Each structure stands twice: as structure tokens, then as C-alpha cells.
Amino acid sequence: MQKDTRPILIGMNNPVSSSPGHELFPYPPGCTGHRIFELLQSRVPAVTRRQYLDRFDRRNLVPLPVWDKQMARARAMQLEQELWFTGRTIVLLGGDVANAFRHPRLLLHPQVIGGCTWRQVPHPSGRNLWFNDEKNRFLVASLLEDLFNVERV
């Protein structure tokens, strides 16, 4: 069995669907997965939804439509144990997810913890005004592009 080396995107929860595989799914328009896909597309215009789905390991901490802080913390502890020393790159989407992992605010800067490279970006929801600044969108889009291209090597 081949070792999974894809970058991992970890979000909060999917308020639309709790079905496996729908984590950070790039549909419907306006959802978090769609916003991530659009950011990637801004740097890699020819990227398809299928490539996005295949190149990133997408997970949510809470498999329910509503955010649950205690469940998120328990799942974060479980994921840390699962991922420890796998060498994977993990991108935490938002402060609530980072808090569940009890990591400091990394804000794009990589930090190696437990043999993995951890990064955090602000949550790409429509409510987050941080993404209104073109420079901020460019930073996150560039990170996604770099992670997307790692798998091509």
C-alpha cells in the first residue's frame, strides 16, 4: 500500500452534508470548499474540481452540521496521533480549528511539530473580511498552488 503524502486541509464542519467525501467539497458555490477551489483556480486556472479533490486530503473536525468545540478537540487529538511523524503538510482552516489542535496562530508560516509541517490560514468563509484584501487572497492562493504542485513532482 502506497503511503498518502497529499497535503491535508482541515476545516470545521460541513453544514450542508455529513457524508464522507463531502469535506471541503467545492460545491455549492459560496461554501468553504468552493472558496478554496476558487483561490487555487486564481493561481492554477486550468485546475479541475477532480484535480482539487484528488490532490488534497480534505477533512473536517466535526462530522455534524453544527460546530461542536468539545467534539472538535477530541477529533483534533485523534488526528494528531494519527498524523504524528507522517511527514505530511497540514493546513488548518481558521482559528477555531487551530484552537482545537491547541496550536498557536501560525498564519501561513510553516512550523514543524511532531514530524509534520503545520500551517494555518484564516477561515475562508464569506464572513471573513480578511479575504477582502487582494494581497491576503494572493498569499493563501499561492500556498494552495505550492501544495497542489508538490504532488506533480
**Residue ranges of domains in the chain:** 8-150
Mean pLDDT on 115-121: 94
> What is the average pLDDT across 103-127?
85
State pLDDT tens for residues 43-84: 999 999 999 999 999 999 999 999 999 999 999 999 999 999
Using a 10 angstrom Cβ sphere, with 0-12 exposed, 13-18 middle and 19 or more buried, the burial of residue 136 is middle
Helix, strand or coil, per DSSP, at residue 107: coil
What is residue 131's DSSP assignment? G
Cell of 15: 453544514
* Rounded distance between C-alpha atoms, residue 142 and residue 149, angstroms: 11
pTM over 0.85: yes
Strands laid side by side in the 116-121 sheet: 57-62, 8-13, 89-93, 116-121, 111-113
Superfamily the domain 8-150 falls into: Uracil-DNA glycosylase-like domain (3.40.470.10)
